[in-house]
Amino acid sequence: MDHSDNSVQDPESKLIDLAKQGDGKAFGELVKQFEDTVYSFAFKVCRDHEKAVETAQDTFVNVYLKLNQFDGKSKFSTWLYSIVANNCLMKRRKTKLEESSVSIDESSDIRVDDLVSYIVPWDPDPAETLLTNELKNVLDEAIKKLPMEYRVVFVMRDVEQMAGEEVAEVLGLSLPAMKSRLRRARLFLRNELRPYMEVKP
Amino acid sequence: MNEHANAALHCVDVLKHVCGDNDIYNDTPLCREIRKHLDHCPGCTNFLQSMNKTIELYQHYHPNVPADLHAKVVEALRHRTQDK
Ligand SMILES: [Zn+2]
């Protein structure tokens, strides 16, 4: 192992190195440190508690089996996100979840005809105060209609606030392709929330 | 009429740029034009507010992590990595 560029190793890298050498306690510590993050991210993508638990289980099994492939060039959390995202995309294929989602194509983009609907302002109250259980339901249902490829981009870039380049790399997309998916996902979700958020005259 | 059509088309370009994760604070002619447009177009301004609100709502929605998550992850690891 070469640590020449980093004489004092940070605790996370140390744990990862120990876990790679087969230290079960260190691996258990990694699980404890990252399980909430993995679960939350999985939930934000699949919007279902049971599926999110399953995804967290699959993710840590994968991490255990593939930890030696983690080369430390990216952040460990980024590597984890890429495993979770792939698990979500794979699960989608297995269960044909996609059948319930809408088709997002050229026509789902910003159109001149829709501009008139953009004039009405939205409730200016802060997000924290608006998040009732009813609105949480609306948020869940709206994002569930989006095809998985779009959901993952939206959650990584806008919700988790990862860098655009990082999202594109993790998902194996070009930057323009990532941006185009993000634009359509944002627009779709915004239009789904519109009936609940517009200020009534 | 024509003028309206032109203005409307311009809004579409502005919104596509802004919603596609593109910076508007660069010092390029396009960004300057977009900023100028946003200063004078209530439609685009309201749209941007609604887009940002959409993102904000999803950012503030934190799921509750189930209490038995750790036990379930450990159980999966025990069963599925035993002979590895
Ligand atoms: Zn405009």
CATH number, domain at A192? 1.10.10.10
Domain assignment present for B5 = no
- What's the rounded Cα separation, in Å, for the pair B12 and B10? 5
pLDDT tens column, A140-193: 999 999 999 999 999 999 999 999 999 999 999 999 999 999 999 999 999 999
Could you give the count of Cα atoms lying within 13 Å of A197 in the half-sphere of its Cβ? 33
Domain end residue (candidates: A35, A66, A95): A95
Task: Give the ranges where chain B is alpha helix by DSSP (H).
Answer: 2-19, 29-40, 42-60, 69-80
| Count of structural domains, chain A | 2
Query: What predicted TM-score, i.e. pTM, was given to this entire model?
Result: 0.87
Q: Dig out the tokens for B34 from the structure.
A: 């977009």
Domain assignment present for A18 = yes
- What's the rounded Cα separation, in Å, for the pair A100 and A151? 14
CATH assignment of the domain containing A85: 1.10.1740.10
Residue A9: per-residue pLDDT = 78
Same domain, A89 and A103: no
Same domain, A126 and A180: yes
Residue B15 distance to chain A (closest CA, Å): 7
Domain assignment present for B4 = no
Same domain, A25 and A47: yes
The residue-averaged pLDDT of A104-126 equals 77
Domain end residue (candidates: A57, A72, A95): A95
Residue B84: per-residue pLDDT = 53
- What's the rounded Cα separation, in Å, for the pair A35 and A39? 6
Same domain, A134 and A192: yes
Same domain, A103 and A91: no
Residue A1: per-residue pLDDT = 46
Domain assignment present for B24 = yes
Residue B83: per-residue pLDDT = 59
Residue A95: per-residue pLDDT = 56
What is the maximum span of chain A, computed from C-alpha positions, in angstroms? 66
Residue B29 clears pLDDT 70, i.e. is over it = yes
Same domain, A175 and A152: yes
Same domain, A166 and A107: yes
Same domain, A85 and A117: no
Same domain, A83 and A107: no
**Which of A56, A118, A157 has its CB closest to that of B21?**
A157
Residue B39 domain boundaries: 11-82
Of all residues in chain A, what percent carry a pLDDT higher than 90? 63
Which amino acid type is present at position A184? R
Same domain, A128 and A141: yes
Residue A10: per-residue pLDDT = 86
Residue A139 domain boundaries: 99-197
How does residue B22 score in pLDDT terms, banded at 50, 70 and 90? Answer: confident
How does residue A4 score in pLDDT terms, banded at 50, 70 and 90? Answer: very low
| Count of structural domains, chain B | 1
If you measure from the C-alpha of residue B17 to the centroid of ligand 1, how many angstroms do you get, rounded to a whole number?
Answer: 12
Residue A111: per-residue pLDDT = 77
How does residue A94 score in pLDDT terms, banded at 50, 70 and 90? Answer: low
User: Is there a contact between B12 and A111 if contact means CB atoms under 8 Å apart?
Assistant: yes
Chain B contact present for A136, CB below 8 A: yes
Chain A contact present for B59, CB below 8 A: yes
In order of A40, A120, B20, the CA distances from A151 in angstroms are 14, 26, 15
Residue B7 clears pLDDT 80, i.e. is over it = no
Site from A136, A137, A181, A183 to mutate, B interface, most B CB atoms within 10 angstroms? A183
The residue-averaged pLDDT of A18-41 equals 95
Same domain, A66 and A51: yes
Domain assignment present for A187 = yes
Same domain, A79 and A169: no
pLDDT tens column, B32-78: 888 889 998 988 989 989 999 999 999 999 999 999 999 999 999 99
Higher pLDDT, B70 or B1: B70
The residue-averaged pLDDT of A40-66 equals 94
